Structure 1
Amino acid sequence: MSVTLDIRLKRANKVYRDGEVVAGVILLVCKEALQHHGIALTMEGLVNLQLSSKSVGVFEAFYNSVKPIPLVSSVVEVAKAGKIPAGKTEIPFEFPLSGKGNKVLYETYHGVFVNIQYTLRCDMKRPLLAKDLSRSCEFIVHSQPQKEKVVPAPVHFTITPATLQNARERSLLPKFLVKGRLDATSCDIGRPLTGELVVENSEVPVKSIELQLVRVETCGCAEGYARDTTEIQNIQIAEGDVCHGLAVPIHMVFPRLFTCPTLETTNFKVEFEVNVVLVLQDDLLITENFPLKLSRV
């Protein structure tokens, strides 16, 4: 027998905040009347932590103690055992969204070593010889707006061979001077990162100028901490040997789900940085790093 089970949320964007009600319908479509042994709906919010392969041997004790951190857990029976009539059936549901105990509902975030996810799962138990049905649906949680207003403070920077931190032989580097400005490093996650960059002079041609957004994820406990940096996105803002003295605009939107307000807890941290990358002739990479503090305003 062909049966379709689906979860439809009332909000098209699926975005909710702590204290709101997650509402929708369970949609069942079947050609004939359907016998079942009960329909249950589960709301779950978890923080999943994992270590990178390079840290496994170093923190073996920690590696075995990494367990998901529950944020939300709630189960409700939406229909007792019985029959679903042929055709289309909608069963409405409502869930109050609140943390388990005193748990804070962190914002939805899909990272590499830290993953914060909220799901609804519908389970329908079927009679013997009929396969049970299950359907999951992710919804997105946004943290409450920050009460304190973020005052943008422009950050001016100058990049020359003398300012580079990890350059081994500065005397062998070609001479160049790049000046620029980031309008803010304490950013509202809903607004783009903006600024400008000017190549004042360079002995060798510039091949490309790029903005690289990276996440810095830290997982830890008493046994130690593992800190890993991975790239989220790389945006090219200029290609080829740009005109000297010409302002190149910096504009980068923070991607949904892959960024969240900067988080610091006892078990994990999620931080963000942006790299301004200059690619010179012969693929010489010049990188300037700026820590970012993201918040939801």
Structure 2
Amino acid sequence: MSVTLDIRLKRANKVYREGPIQLISSNIEVAKAGKIPGGKTEIPFEFPLHTKGNKVLYETYHGVFVNIQYTLRCDMKRSLLAKDLSRSCEFIVHCQPQKSKVIPTPVNFTITPDTLQSREKNSLPKFLIRGHLDATNCVISLPLTGEVVVENSDVPIKSIELQLVRVETCGCAEGYARDATEIQNIQIAEGDVCHSLAIPIYMIFPRLFTCPTLETTNFKVEFEVNVVVVLHDDHLITENFPLKLCRL
């Protein structure tokens, strides 16, 4: 007789939030030893999310060098002549919203060859690009917004892009290793855009691949956004902005 084991969350799209006591690991028995009748058998279960000691429940995050994941694993022990069954699935944890209000910190920027920290800036064509971000202290459930304006450029514009970057810092034997990797890249303009025309900046923070800015004794997870202007001769003009993400 063929037997399959599965875990089905009652609310698969539910986000489980941490409480005053937080989860690291927990084992419960959902059914006593005995015979399961033929057909489909559903066994309901629930348990609180408790931590061990003074450890903290961090928000679910899928990164490159830092991963924070929470999984359920169900093991069904069977008789000697039958193979044990096991099944796992991930569930999502969000941290408690912070109580203090987030005060938006708008940032204005101006990009010219003189503002770039590049050894090749003397060989770059002349251009003037202005813009602003509405906030760099960002609520993770709300979009990053702003605008960029190409005032003038001696070389036609090829593309304008927004690049979201994760910066992960991990402890190691030599000290700390800090690595920046791309999360997503969004093109907000293509071709030689009209000069003095405001181009809106609008970026959604992707679920799982971002989390509230996190700093612990062993690792840090931070985020940045790059405004990237690609000129027709493939010169890249990049302006970097550190972001602080939080949840309300």
Q: Normalising by structure 2, what TM-score?
A: 0.96
Q: Indicate the residue corresponding to 1:132 in structure 2.
A: 84
**C-alpha distance in 2, partners of 1:180/1:217?**
28
Q: Which runs of 4+ in 1 moved over 4 A?
A: none
Q: Indicate the residue corresponding to 1:153 in structure 2.
A: 105
Q: Indicate the residue corresponding to 1:179 in structure 2.
A: 130
CA distance 1:144–1:191, change in 2 (3 Å): same
**C-alpha distance in 2, partners of 1:170/1:212?**
22
1:209 aligns with 2:170: no
1:87 aligns with 2:39: yes
Confirm or deny: 8 A CA contact 1:211 1:274 kept in the other structure: yes
1:115 aligns with 2:83: no
Amino acid at match of 1:6: D
Tell me by how many angstroms 1:223 deviates.
Answer: 4.0
Q: Indicate the residue corresponding to 2:10 in structure 1.
A: 10
Q: Indicate the residue corresponding to 2:206 in structure 1.
A: 255
Structure 2's unaligned 5+ residue stretches are none
Tell me how many residue pairs correspond in the alignment.
248
Task: Name the SS of the counterpart of 1:89 in structure 2.
Answer: coil
The Cα offsets for residues 93-126 of structure 1, whole Å up to 9 and x where unpaired, read as 1110122222111000000000000011000011
**C-alpha distance in 2, partners of 1:170/1:91?**
66
Q: Indicate the residue corresponding to 1:65 in structure 2.
A: none
Tell me by how many angstroms 1:182 deviates.
Answer: 0.2
Amino acid at match of 1:254: F
CA RMSD of the aligned region, Å? Answer: 1.6
Tell me by how many angstroms 1:14 deviates.
Answer: 3.2
Tell me by how many angstroms 1:80 deviates.
Answer: 2.1
**C-alpha distance in 2, partners of 1:242/1:124?**
62
1:242 aligns with 2:203: no
**C-alpha distance in 2, partners of 1:161/1:153?**
26
Amino acid at match of 1:248: I
Q: Indicate the residue corresponding to 1:290 in structure 2.
A: 241
Tell me by how many angstroms 1:249 deviates.
Answer: 0.3
Percent of counterpart pairs with the same letter?
83
Amino acid at match of 2:149: V
Tell me by how many angstroms 1:282 deviates.
Answer: 1.6
Structure 1 residues 16-31: aligned runs within 5 Å: 16-19=16-19
**C-alpha distance in 2, partners of 1:170/1:76?**
63
Task: Name the SS of the counterpart of 1:283 in structure 2.
Answer: coil
The Cα offsets for residues 163-214 of structure 1, whole Å up to 9 and x where unpaired, read as 001x113221100000001000000000000000000000000000000000
Structure 1 residues 193-204: aligned runs within 5 Å: 193-204=144-155
**C-alpha distance in 2, partners of 1:266/1:231?**
24
Tell me by how many angstroms 1:19 deviates.
Answer: 2.5
Structure 1's unaligned 5+ residue stretches are 22-44, 46-70
The Cα offsets for residues 6-62 of structure 1, whole Å up to 9 and x where unpaired, read as 1122223131111399xxxxxxxxxxxxxxxxxxxxxxx9xxxxxxxxxxxxxxxxx
**C-alpha distance in 2, partners of 1:244/1:89?**
66
**C-alpha distance in 2, partners of 1:157/1:4?**
58
Structure with the larger strand share = 1
Confirm or deny: 8 A CA contact 2:19 2:96 kept in the other structure: no
Confirm or deny: 8 A CA contact 1:208 1:240 kept in the other structure: yes
